[in-house]
Amino acid sequence: MSLPVAERWFETKRLDATTTLLLEPHVHILEQANMFLIEGRDRDVILDSGMGVAPLRPVLDALRADPAKPLAHVASHAHIDHIGGVHEFGERLIHPAEADDMAEPKGIRSLRSADFAPETRQMFLDAGYPPLWELLIDAVPWEGYDPDAYLLQGAPATGLLEEGDAVDLGDRVFEVLHLPGHSPGGIGLWEAETGVLFSGDAIYDGPLIPVEPAVYARTLRRLRDLPVSIVHGGHDPSFGRDRLRAIVDACLPKLEAAPG
């Protein structure tokens, strides 16, 4: 399959003075995860790193006000679309429940959709996602790029983040929330002072994927009660508190009716 060369691999959008959204627009919407660069006084954080199709670190350093400042990779969870670039960073943080999966990724590691099990493909269709392409990308980052040479490369955690821990940037402090249900070690970053929540795949404004329905329902009830001002999810556009409650209220009856 011959694919065009993308004009640029990463799309960036400044959300506020210290937060930049990065996307891979040529990745299938199912695996097109949000990456958030959060710049602080003393250190910066990149929350998730996409698929790892093209190098991310040089793009981040070009965006940062001070590329010499420490930069930590925080993984909201260890799925392929969130840890693709984790090996590019010296400081790598994740919940202990998924540290092994980040160190040695399991499951889908290639760009071939045929590697997805039939029941997994059906789960995505049932959730509302469009059918997968033969390849998970519709362009390549440079001439001569071989999609079949891609292999998700993990990296061991250098630190662990659990419920109640703090991610301290110097002038901003985020509390770690353990938000399982989509994955066992899913986490969010919560800044109570501003009401800003980076929620990973626990909640976003698109088709949600509950792997453990009963556990996921508890997570969504918890999120519904948070006094958020804005939610930056792992996929799709950011949203406010009213939309958060609407998403939860629409999803909970399905989860509560699900077996198990």
User: pLDDT of 120-170, one tens digit each?
Assistant: 999 999 999 999 999 999 999 999 999 999 999 999 999 999 999 999 999
Predicted confidence at residue 87, as pLDDT, reads: 98
DSSP secondary structure string, 99-125? HHHHHS--S--SSBGGGS-HHHHHHHH
- Distance, in Å, from the CA atom of 125 to the CA atom of 138, rounded to the nearest integer, reads 19
Under-50 pLDDT residues of the chain? none
Helix (H, G, I), strand (E, B) or coil at 74: strand
Predicted confidence at residue 260, as pLDDT, reads: 60
Q: Which helix (H) or strand (E) holds 196?
A: strand 196-200
Q: HSE on the CB side for 224, CA within 13 Å? A: 14
Predicted confidence at residue 35, as pLDDT, reads: 99
* CATH classification (class only), 11-257: alpha beta
User: pLDDT of 203-229, one tens digit each?
Assistant: 999 999 999 999 999 999 999 999 999
Predicted confidence at residue 109, as pLDDT, reads: 96
